[in-house]
Amino acid sequence: MFNELSGCFHAVGNGTFFTSKIRGKEGSEFKWGYDCGSTSEKIINGIIDSSYIEFTDGDSIDMMVISHFDDDHVNGLIALLRKHTIKRLVLPYSDWTQSIREISIDGSHGVSPSTALFQLNPALWLFNNDLSNRVETIILVQGNGGPENPEEQTTPRKFPADHNEPLILTDNSDESNVPEQEKHINDAKDNVFFDLGRPVNSGGIKILKINHMQPIDALGGIFEFIFYNAEKTFKKLNLVYEKDEEIYAIKSRVKLSDAKEDIQKTIENINLHRCINSSIDVKWREKLKNCYQKHFGRTNKANNNISLCMYASPKIPPHGKCFIFDFPHNGYNIHSSGLIFTGDINLTLPVLDDFESHLGSERWMNCGLFQIPHHGSANCWEKGHTKKIKPAYFVQCASPTLKHPSQFVLDDLNGEKAIVYNASRQNPIHFSYLF
């Protein structure tokens, strides 16, 4: 008898929707996923409504991870939550200041009002979509801000021995081994969400915060998830300052709490908190950006690297060291069971080295499948990355389009004769293995 993992990068094209089920040899199951979006909302909603994902209608998903708050990574969540409850929704921890900046930067090509509200207050977003009580717990993963010196490469360390005790996911309502001080989010201190008339813990939603040095274990500890968050805080970006034990906005020089109250009033004035397209101010993003810049200066000063990466793997070797892909009907073998998901992270060489160092050399060498970030965008890849990540196989989620995947990325992959699978709108990538 063996444990079994099956998983699929679904055929959403530009975007990402990955689902997986782990079946324990004793009959237990753990259902999880990574990202849930596409540039075509019709495409992803159709897949969710079909029978092609690993979850049976009505199943409760044990863990769903969202890498960042772009439409093409989250716009399938409403359809998913109408069919399934989610026990743990894992999100990148982000200062509210950074959330406002990210929502404001791209003008008419930016995120939708729905995705913006989801980032600002998940509880209100659920309520507005008649999905209250569909999420039990939100787990926020805080990072260390990526490499300290972007010009300095880091030396990968051996398998980390200094991790905190893992957070063990169980079927009951209480999570094991969560330090008491991390069980609750104090928004006045942690600066995560806007209240907007509905606190994020309304409806009984629990909020946990963990550091990305803390693993999450499943199925009694035989399977692990390790996260990596390279986002820098506003304090590290020098956009706030401290005086007499108070935090102030760098440009307006008002207390950060007063700046937050001012921005919240702007959110309410433009009707973003209602998330009803017919009633939202047509210039909502411009007005929000102006309010942000009044307190913190131009948005380009806060350029950040937001995407929650994740390593997922059993702690024991796969049976027969066989990892099987179905593309769509052929089997291929590789000798490592680890999966690395990257969302849209800007994978510069220092960030790649820092990510490797964070995981440790043994986990890094256990990577059998590596997701190419941002659908193969040239802006998120550097020449030579393929050589550093091999012998892993690669998967990219792209339609393809003019820039995704880019020829620059394809040339780097082809130059190393890498094995690459493309989860396009026509072809999903399925795989399974025993361990």
Give 249-295 pLDDT, tens digit per residue.
999 999 999 999 999 999 999 999 987 767 898 899 999 999 999 99
* 9 & 154 share domain: yes
Give 383-412 pLDDT, tens digit per residue.
999 999 998 899 999 987 777 899 999 999
* 385 & 331 share domain: yes
Could you tell me what percent of the chain has a pLDDT over 90? 62
Give 372-385 pLDDT, tens digit per residue.
999 999 999 999 99
Stated as kind and residue range, the H or E segment containing 235 is none
Whole-angstrom distance, CA of residue 231 vs CA of residue 398 = 25
Beta carbons within 8 Å of 159's beta carbon, 6+ residues apart: 360, 361, 362, 363
**Hey, what's the torsion of the CAs at 165, 171, 172, 178, to 10 degrees?**
10
Of 251, 274, 301, which marks where a domain is finished? 301
Could you tell me what percent of the chain has a pLDDT over 70? 86
- Tell me whether residue 267 is in a domain: yes
- Tell me whether residue 119 is in a domain: no
AA letter at 264: Q
Give 316-339 pLDDT, tens digit per residue.
877 765 666 655 555 566 678 999
Q: Is the pLDDT of residue 197 over 50?
A: yes
Of 264, 281, 301, which marks where a domain is finished? 301
* 325 & 352 share domain: yes
Q: Which domain holds residue 256?
A: 240-301
- Tell me whether residue 188 is in a domain: no
- Tell me whether residue 71 is in a domain: yes
How high is the pLDDT of residue 332?
A: 62
Query: Of 55-64, 81-90, 219-228, which range is least confident?
Result: 55-64
How high is the pLDDT of residue 5?
A: 92
Of 301, 316, 333, which marks where a domain is finished? 301
Whole-angstrom distance, CA of residue 10 vs CA of residue 43 = 10
* 310 & 391 share domain: yes
Inter-CA distances, 100 with 105, 120, 122, 191, 289, Å? 9, 8, 14, 12, 8
* 292 & 418 share domain: no
Q: Pull the structure tokens for residue 244.
A: 């007499």
* 310 & 424 share domain: yes
- Tell me whether residue 131 is in a domain: no
Taking a C-beta distance cutoff of 8 angstroms, is the pair 369, 394 a contact? yes
* 156 & 26 share domain: yes
Domain CATH number, residue 404: 3.60.15
Number of domains into which the chain is organized: 2
* 344 & 420 share domain: yes
The pLDDT confidence band at residue 176, using thresholds 50, 70 and 90, is low
Q: What is the pTM of this model?
A: 0.92
DSSP state of 352: H
Q: Pull the structure tokens for residue 237.
A: 């970006």
* 77 & 46 share domain: yes
Taking a C-beta distance cutoff of 8 angstroms, is the pair 20, 428 a contact? no
- Tell me whether residue 200 is in a domain: no
